């Protein structure tokens, strides 16, 4: 009984509608991120991972990077 109710319910159209609205809104937002304004508004937060350790592993890693890049060339 419950299954039949749910199987025939017009409410089942709602997830489809939600899908369409969601994909449209999402696509708009993604396109917007490619815009100039967004690229300029580089949030300070996005720079957080780029702060290096001070001592001593970061220094060693920099040596490592320089070394490996030099070797490749």
Partner 1 sequence: MSAETETNDSAPLRQERIVYNDAVVRRFVAASVIFAIVAMLVGVIVALQLAWYPANAASFLSFGRLRPLHTNAAIFAFIGNMMFAGIYYSTQRLVKARLASDALSSIHFWGWQLIIVAAAVTLPLGYTQGKEYAELEWPIDIAIALVWVVFAINFFWTLAKRREKHLYVAIWFYISTIITVAVLHIVNSFAIPVFALKSYSVFGGAQDALVQWWYGHNAVAFFLTTPILGIMYYFVPKAADRPVYSYRLSIVHFWALVFLYIWAGPHHLLYTALPDWAQTLGMVFSVMLWAPSWGGMLNGLLTLRGAWDKVRTDPALKFFAAAITFYGMATFEGPLLSIKSVNSLAHYTDWIIGHVHAGALGWNGFMAAGMFYWLVPRLYGTKLHSKSLADTHFYIGTVGIILYVVSMWVSGVTQGMMWRALDDKGVLLYPTFVETLIAIRPMYWVRLAGGTMFLVGMLMMFYNLYRTARSGKAVDGEATVTVESLESQVPWKNVVFGAPVLLVTVVCVLLGALAVVGINASVGIVALTTAVAIGGTLALQLSRKDGETTWHRLLEGRALIFTAFVVIAVLIGGVAEIIPTIVTTRTDPGMAGAATYSALELEGRDVYLREGCYTCHSQMIRAMPFESARYGDISRIADSQYDHPFQWGSKRTGPDLARVGGKYPNLWHYSHMRDPRATSPGSNMPPYAFLVDAKVDFGRTQDKLQAHKTIGVPYTDTQIKNAAADARKQGGMIAKDLHDQGAEVAPDSELVALAAYLQHLGQPPTVLEPKTPAVAAAGH
Q: From CA 7, how far away is CA 13, in angstroms rounded?
A: 11
CB 17 within 8 A of CB 11: no
Binding mask 11-50 for partner 1 (x = CB under 8 A): xx-xxxxxx-xxx-xxx-xx-xx----xx-xxx-xxxxxx
Q: From CA 34, how far away is CA 44, in angstroms rounded?
A: 18
Smallest distance, partner 1 to C-beta of residue 21, A = 6
Q: Which positions lie near partner 1, rule CB under 8 A? A: 1-3, 6-7, 9-12, 14-19, 21-23, 25-27, 29-30, 32-33, 38-39, 41-43, 45-51, 53-58, 60-61, 63-65, 67-69, 71-72
């Amino acid at each position: 009984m419950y299954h039949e109710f749910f199987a025939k319910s017009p409410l089942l159209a709602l997830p489809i509608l939600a899908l369409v609205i969601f994909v449209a809104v999402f696509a708009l937002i993604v396109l917007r991120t490619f815009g100039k304004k967004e690229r300029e508004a580089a949030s300070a937060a996005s720079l957080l991972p780029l702060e290096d350790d001070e001592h001593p592993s970061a220094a060693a890693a920099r040596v490592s990077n320089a070394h490996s890049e030099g070797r490749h060339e």
